[in-house]
Amino acid sequence: MTSATITADAAGSWKLGDLSVNRVGLGAMRLTGSAAFHHGTPSDRERSMAVLRKAIELGVNHIDTAAFYFSALRSANELINSALAPYADDLVIAAKVGPYRDYHGEWGTSARPDQLRGHVEENLRQLGRDHLDVVYLRRMRQDSIAEHFGALAELREAGLIRHLGVSAVEPRHLAEARAIAPVVCVQNRYAVDRPDPVDDEVLRLCGEQGIAFVPFYAVAGEAGAEGATTAHDAEVLAVARAHGASPTQVRIAWTLHQGPHVLAIPGTGNPDHLVENVAAGALRLTDDELARLNAARRHGG
């Protein structure tokens, strides 16, 4: 498929509360290095900022980031601020709080509810904003998220946050959060080669309730933080050949075909890969292709 002239609106749009976003966005995690966090080597600063500016040119208006997205030399939030401020009026930046990394990059214990304001304020400082459009609470194996989500709901009432989301949750956690404050999006791990009945149920519930479902590692698959997988199922490869597309584009297209409420946030620090990822929003899979991909997924990818 031809990628150069395809923009992010090709897949349509969805609303995060009152904020309209194109369904193909950008995950900022890979802007900081060749792999996430402390994996790989730090990125070239100018190249990463070029990716961000190119994303805006291509109509991307939804960027997913976090203060804990940093490598030895690069911070995703600082790159976003340097490349894109002053921000376009329609740009929606979503951040996550809950996990914690110290300045050496080591993972610490997850934040207590009373520490979440500090996490939000750190994102605000790094991004140069007075409020965050969307903040996800990333669940860190808590049995209940009520106290943590309640703390974020208070920050929403105080005007520091516009909309709330939850991440890495089961259906019961989503219900728990919705009883406290409106939830506009859920971010769970979800991919064509990673069957999980719990996440399938969360996806279904989000569709019923008008909540955006925003998968992470949809392209990376089982490789996770290490980067995009190169181990593609035979059906993914067959569909890619049929469309003259890459396996990555098929993975993104399959993600978007899971429902109009599903958003894609593929991450990259490569300008060419960015163009390819955005173009995947125009890839239309047939019912037969979807059935084959879904059957392969049910059998373990």
CATH number of domain containing 114: 3.20.20.100
State how far the alpha carbon of 83 is from the alpha carbons of 20, 51, 53, 98, 159, in Å: 22, 9, 7, 26, 25
Q: Where are the beta strands (DSSP E) in 119-269?
A: 132-138, 161-167, 185-187, 212-213
pLDDT confidence of 105, banded at 50, 70, 90?
A: confident
Instruction: Tell me whether residue 12 is in a domain.
Output: no
Within the chain, what is the greatest distance between any pair of CA atoms?
A: 53
pLDDT confidence of 298, banded at 50, 70, 90?
A: confident
pLDDT confidence of 19, banded at 50, 70, 90?
A: very high
Instruction: Tell me whether residue 177 is in a domain.
Output: yes
**Predicted TM-score of the model (pTM):** 0.94
Query: At a CB cut-off of 8 Å and minimum separation 6, what does 272 contact?
Result: none
Instruction: Tell me whether residue 224 is in a domain.
Output: yes
Question: Is 69 a residue of the active site?
Answer: yes
Would the pLDDT of 259 be above 80? Answer: yes
Would the pLDDT of 301 be above 70? Answer: no
pLDDT confidence of 239, banded at 50, 70, 90?
A: very high
Instruction: Tell me whether residue 7 is in a domain.
Output: no
Closest listed residue to residue 91, CA positions, set 121, 122, 60? 60
Instruction: Tell me whether residue 29 is in a domain.
Output: yes
Domains contained in the chain, number = 1
CA distance 194 to 226: 16
The domain of 132 spans 19-298
Please state the rounded mean pLDDT for residues 20-25: 98
Residue/partner pairs of 227-232 with CB below 8 Å, 24 or more apart: 227/30, 227/34, 227/35, 227/36, 227/39, 227/40, 229/193, 231/193, 232/193
